[in-house]
Each structure stands twice: as C-alpha cells, then as structure tokens.
Chain A
Amino acid sequence: MRSNNFKRLMEEEEAKYEAPPPKVTRNVEQTTGIFSFAANIIEIFLPKVVDVFVAMSGGKDEETPPKRFTPDQGFKHGPGKGPDALG
C-alpha cells in the first residue's frame, strides 16, 4: 500500500477533537428534540384538525352512514327505507 502522509496528518488532526464542545452537542440535541416533538404533534393532531375544518365547512364523515328511520325498527344506521321512501 502506498504511503499517505496526508491521511496520517488528517488522522492526527481528527484525533485532537473527539467531539465538538458540549455547547454544540446540547444545541443539536435541543434542535432534534424540538423537531421530533413538533413532528409527533403534527402526526397525531393534524388529521383531527382536518376533520374539524371539514365539519366546520359543513362536510360529513362519509364513513358513518346517516341515521335512517324505518317504521319497524325506528332510527338505525345505514341505508334503508326512510320517511321519503314511505311517502
């Protein structure tokens, strides 16, 4: 293998600095902590916020079928013969 004093010199330089000053590490940890926390909050609450806006704008949750009236069973979920159908 060919000699590489350049690499040796850089390794010597790097060996002097095992880690950056503690202040830098603290700041990086704080930043990553804040961003992770914010990401979690967004992940948990964003879908609910969207639901709220949909509800406020008069939209409906399409997964829940509207209650329908049937003469024999009263109000129940899901498609069925409602009052309109009776008329």
Chain B
Amino acid sequence: MQTSKHNPIGDQEAIERYLDTREPAYFDVLYRRYAGKVYAKCISILKDEGLAGDATQEIFTKVFLNLSKFGGQSKFSTWLYSITYNFCIDQVRKNKKGKQIFSDEMEKAPEIEEEVSDEEFLTMEIERLKVVLENLPEGDKAILIMKYNDDMSIIEIAESLDKSESAIKMKIMRAKQKARQIYDEFFKAQ
C-alpha cells in the first residue's frame, strides 16, 4: 500500500484508488481513520457496546458496498456519519417497537415557551450536559450531535434523515427545549 504515517492519503484519494484498483487496503485506510469515531457515535446513541459493535460492522459493510455511490458533493465524513445516525435511529426504532424517539413526535412534547439559545445549550457544564444527554430521547440526541458536534448544516441533516428543513429546525428546537427541561429537573434545585 502506498501510504505512510508521514504522508497519509486523503479520504477522497483513498476512495478513488479503491474504486480504481479494488484493493481492500485502500478501504482499510478509511476504516482505520473512522472506525473509532463511528463506534463512539453508535455507543452514544444505542447505549450498548455490543449493539454498537454490531452496528459499526454493518455500517462499514454498507459503506463498502455503496462506496461507488459516494458522489463527493459532501465530505466523506459527513456521508459516513449520516449513514451512522440513520442506521442507529432505525435500530432504536426497531428495539423500541414503534415508540417515538424524537421529542416533537411524542404526545407530551415540551411546550415551546421560548427558544433555547445555542449559547445556553452549549455552555452547560460538561458533567451536567452528560446527564442531560443520557436522559434525552435517542433521536433528539442524534440530531443535536449532528448539528453541534459534527457541524452539519440543516440541509445536510434534512437530506440524511429524509425530512424537510423546517421539520429538522423544529426537531432541533424541541430537542433543546427537552434538554432544558431535563436540566431543570436534575439541577434547578441546586
């Protein structure tokens, strides 16, 4: 393989070389680069290391089989993470057997009295934020990770979850509202 630690090939180049040569070593470059990140994202949504391992395996198999469909319009990481979140959300839906996993789909959706600002959400103390995220519905958590960790645009999130942009904006707003509600339940008295 023509890669080295000092001069690693980029994602796009690895994909092109793999498609030209069908040499699995080029796919391996992508796997080594992203497997840990995908696994961590799966754990944070599925909350189970065994399920996350199985999900990681299936996601990379899916990516491998569909690599020729990656058009390069977005970054490879954005494409890969979209597949990851979609897969995890589907898994959670299957395991919950029809129960809703986004706050805005629930019967008791939080009332939107005032919008929670990004500032308020992003400056929560880390330990408290951890508690909030652990208690958020999985769908809400996934969408907030896409927006605030992976810096995906509303359009990119909408495309990857096959929803309209306005639906995604509403989901983000509801998810932040739910996060504030959980924060108040756990920490308001303190």
* Pair from one complex: yes
Task: State the A residues within 8 Å of B (CB).
Answer: 2-10, 12-14, 16-21, 23-25, 27-29, 31-33, 35-36, 39-40, 43
Interface residues of B in 46-68 (CB under 8 A from A): 49, 52-54, 56-57, 60-61, 64-65
A28 touches B149 (CB 8 A): no
In the complex, whether B121 has a CB less than 8 A from a CB of chain A is yes
Task: Give the number of A-B contacts (CB < 8 Å).
Answer: 96
Known pairs A5-B123, A28-B57; A17 contacts B36 (CB<8 A): yes
Complex Cα distance, B65 from A8, in Å, reads 33
Which one of B61, B121, B124, B130 contacts A31 once the chains associate, using CB atoms below 8 Å?
B61
Complex Cα distance, B38 from A18, in Å, reads 10
Which one of B37, B57, B123 contacts A14 once the chains associate, using CB atoms below 8 Å?
B37
Complex Cα distance, B64 from A17, in Å, reads 22
B44 touches A10 (CB 8 A): yes
B39 touches A29 (CB 8 A): no
Main secondary structure, interface of B, reads helix
B53 touches A6 (CB 8 A): no
Cβ–Cβ < 8 Å partners of A28 in chain B: 31, 35, 56-57, 60-61, 64
A4 touches B22 (CB 8 A): no
Q: How far is the CB of A6 from chain B (nearest CB, A)?
A: 5
B148 touches A4 (CB 8 A): yes
Q: How far is the CB of A66 from chain B (nearest CB, A)?
A: 38
Task: State the B residues within 8 Å of A (CB).
Answer: 22-24, 27-28, 31-32, 35-41, 43-44, 49, 52-54, 56-57, 60-61, 64-65, 118-119, 121-126, 129-130, 133, 144-145, 148-149
Complex Cα distance, B64 from A21, in Å, reads 19
Complex Cα distance, B40 from A12, in Å, reads 10
Q: How far is the CB of A73 from chain B (nearest CB, A)?
A: 47
Which one of A2, A3, A8, A36 contacts B22 once the chains associate, using CB atoms below 8 Å?
A36
Q: How far is the CB of B61 from chain A (nearest CB, A)?
A: 5
